[in-house]
Amino acid sequence: MKRILIACGALLVSAMSLADECSTASTQTALNACTAAQYQAADKTLNDAYATVLKRAPETQKALLKIAQQKWMALRDADCALMSSGSAGGSIQPMINSQCMTDKTVERTAWLESLLHCDEGDISCPLPPGN
């Protein structure tokens, strides 16, 4: 339950900050650039969280974590391609795709970070508690 609350809180805060960052963009090109930058920032945060989780993971789970992350990335990319397909060829498509990629990346980051805060004895958590 604690992990769910942490993840929900992170999603709420990041959604509000993402909306504010691009509010001054006045053209579609500027919106596309802004949302692409947001995705790049979210991806960096995800990579940092993933590296931290990978370091803490026991050897037996590192390979599983790597496979899960690769499959998640493929799913994220496919989901976002679908979400932005309705505007295929339009100038808004990059923005829709970037927003989707950012949303899914922020969500995954929150989930990965929740693994770092497992309670002692939580057998549903694959990582040992932090020191």
Looking at the chain, the whole-number percentage of residues with pLDDT higher than 70 is 83
pLDDT at 11: 46
Q: Is the pLDDT reported for residue 17 higher than 80?
A: no
Q: Tens digits of per-residue pLDDT, 27-82?
A: 999 999 999 999 999 999 999 999 999 999 999 899 999 999 999 999 999 999 99
Q: How far apart are the first and last CA of the chain?
A: 21
Q: Which two tokens stand for residue 65?
A: 């974590």
DSSP one-letter code for 67:
H
φ, ψ for residue 116 (rounded to 5)?
Answer: -80, -5
pLDDT at 1: 47
> How many CB atoms neighbour CB 35 within 10 A?
23
pLDDT at 114: 93
Q: Of 107, 88, 122, whose CA–CA distance to 39 is shortest?
A: 107
